[in-house]
């Protein structure tokens, strides 16, 4: 099966077929192309894209750009938390677990970063085999429960915050769910933050991140760099919005309710992500799918040159290295300014959080420019 443009199909024939259903089949016994739409009566076991199929890409349109919007929201939620780690580090080290050493607290964020990226090794093949919807729903659940549980890992919030739960039944229910893991009547333990933030939120972020990136590639080829660049701006936008939001809320409602309000924002973003992120390649169905189809395939790294393996390792190491300044920039500023424990969470430390927002705002430009340039360069090389 090859693209109809390679055999000179007329524009009239191509225009009669919707972009998202255009497939071209070549009769092996005849040199002339035979263009037809796939029959809906095919058996379920073979109701999937052939291995040698060449898919046409819409390269735009309402559905394609809604997918980009959904991916943008998903990356805002997942990478936004990732890029807000510096705020979490300050509060944990100065207020929640001040008695712990820096090296001990560092494991919280190291494990979070590791879980966030390593889970993609399995999530990617699962996305290819089954589509994005189930993964995104699971990611939403894990992220929200993890964030709500993380919000309880602190001292009691001001009375004005508790009054919100008394007036709003949904907020009260969510607060009860978050207390299923932790109790505010006892001191927060180190392992509780590891479970809620490092593990549960890390898994949720990974479940949102990988399918959101993959869906965009199903709708764009020539303009993939542009579309991916727009979607990845969401990660930087979340890194601007969340630190400034937490900085504003901390003096008013305390840490616990600041994070719960963050959770409600994440709920809206994840709902849009689940609604609009979808794949164009039909998932494998019925007997055609086995558990082996969802396992990682190491053969993709065996291209004879090692280029794929080296590139993958380089991207991973770059992301991990980027996480270090994101995590410790606010804490470094507070330490250099010799601010007290109380001042680290209030007005005098405001610029520490603003530094994180400035860093992430600059990254928005870099994300878009880098991905657009990489996409355009790659497409030019493939022509």
Higher-pLDDT residue of 282, 118: 118
pLDDT at 47: 42
Range of the domain at 269: 59-115+131-280+334-382
Instruction: Please give the share of the chain, as a percent, with pLDDT higher than 90.
Output: 25
Which region among 90-94, 204-208, 327-331, 374-378 has the lowest average model confidence (pLDDT)? 374-378
Instruction: Please give the share of the chain, as a percent, with pLDDT higher than 70.
Output: 66
Q: Is residue 121 part of a domain?
A: no
Mean pLDDT of the chain: 75
Whether residue 5 is predicted with pLDDT greater than 50 in this model: the reply is no
**pTM for the model:** 0.72
Question: 33 CB contacts (<8 Å, ≥6 apart)?
Answer: 4, 7, 9, 24, 25, 26, 27
pLDDT in tens, 44-77: 333 444 444 455 777 778 888 999 999 999 999 9
Q: Is residue 171 part of a domain?
A: yes
Whether residue 309 is predicted with pLDDT greater than 60 in this model: the reply is yes
Instruction: Give the CATH number, domain containing residue 180.
Output: 1.20.1250
Whether residue 297 is predicted with pLDDT greater than 60 in this model: the reply is yes
Q: How confident is the model at residue 33 (pLDDT cuts 50, 70, 90)?
A: very low
- Whole-number Å distance between alpha carbons of 272 and 276: 6
Residue 201 vs residues 78, 193, 264: alpha-carbon distances, Å: 9, 10, 15
Closest alpha carbon to 73 in 239, 263, 231, 260:
231
- Tell me how many domains the chain contains: 1
Length of the chain (residues): 383
Q: Is residue 296 part of a domain?
A: no
Q: Is residue 313 part of a domain?
A: no
Q: What is the DSSP string of 336-379?
A: HTT--TTGGGSGGGHHHHHHHHHHHHHHHHHHHHHHHHHHHHHH
Higher-pLDDT residue of 147, 36: 147
- Determine the average pLDDT of the residues in 144-148: 94
Q: What is the DSSP string of 187-214?
A: PPPHHHHIIIIIIIIHHHHHHHHHHHHH
Higher-pLDDT residue of 36, 363: 363
Q: How confident is the model at residue 40 (pLDDT cuts 50, 70, 90)?
A: very low
Q: Is residue 187 part of a domain?
A: yes
Whether residue 305 is predicted with pLDDT greater than 60 in this model: the reply is yes
pLDDT at 160: 40
pLDDT in tens, 178-224: 554 444 444 578 888 999 999 999 999 999 999 998 888 888 888 88
Whether residue 326 is predicted with pLDDT greater than 80 in this model: the reply is yes
Whether residue 354 is predicted with pLDDT greater than 80 in this model: the reply is yes
Whether residue 171 is predicted with pLDDT greater than 80 in this model: the reply is no
- Determine the average pLDDT of the residues in 26-40: 42
Q: Is residue 124 part of a domain?
A: no
Q: Is residue 237 part of a domain?
A: yes
Q: Is residue 89 part of a domain?
A: yes
């Amino acid at each position: 099966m090859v693209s109809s443009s390679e055999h000179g199909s007329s524009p009239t024939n191509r225009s009669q077929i919707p972009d998202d259903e255009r497939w071209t089949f070549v009769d092996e016994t005849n040199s002339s192309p035979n263009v037809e739409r796939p029959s809906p009566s095919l058996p379920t076991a073979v109701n999937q894209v052939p291995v040698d199929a060449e898919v046409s890409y819409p390269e735009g349109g309402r559905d394609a750009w809604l997918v980009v919007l959904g991916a943008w929201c998903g990356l805002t939620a997942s990478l936004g938390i990732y890029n807000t780690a510096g705020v979490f580090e300050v509060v944990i080290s100065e207020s929640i677990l001040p008695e712990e050493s820096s090296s001990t607290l560092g494991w919280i964020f190291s494990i979070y970063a590791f879980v966030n990226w390593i889970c993609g090794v399995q999530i990617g093949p699962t996305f290819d085999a089954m589509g994005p919807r189930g993964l995104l729903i699971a990611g939403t659940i894990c992220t929200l429960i993890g964030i709500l549980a993380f919000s309880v890992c602190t001292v009691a919030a001001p009375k004005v915050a508790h009054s919100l739960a008394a007036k709003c039944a949904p907020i009260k229910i969510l607060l009860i769910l978050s207390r299923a893991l932790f109790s505010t009547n006892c001191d927060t333990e180190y392992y509780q933050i590891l479970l809620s933030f490092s593990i549960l939120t890390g898994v949720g972020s990974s479940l949102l991140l990988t399918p959101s990136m993959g869906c965009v590639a199903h709708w764009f080829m020539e303009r993939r760099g542009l579309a991916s660049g727009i979607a990845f701006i969401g990660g930087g936008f979340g890194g601007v919005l969340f630190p400034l939001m937490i900085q504003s809320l901390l003096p008013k409602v305390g840490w616990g309710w600041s994070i719960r309000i963050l959770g409600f924002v994440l709920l809206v973003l994840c709902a849009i992500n689940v609604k609009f992120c979808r794949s164009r390649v039909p998932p494998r169905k019925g007997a055609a799918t086995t558990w082996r189809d969802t396992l990682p395939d190491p053969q993709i790294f065996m291209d004879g040159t090692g280029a794929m393996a080296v590139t993958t390792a380089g991207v991973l190491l770059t992301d991990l290295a980027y996480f270090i300044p994101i995590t410790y920039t606010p804490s470094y500023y507070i330490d250099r300014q010799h601010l007290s424990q109380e001042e680290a969470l209030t007005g005098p430390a405001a610029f520490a959080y603003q530094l994180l927002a400035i860093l992430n705002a600059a990254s928005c430009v870099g994300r878009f420019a880098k991905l657009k340039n990489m996409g355009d360069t790659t497409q030019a090389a493939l022509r």
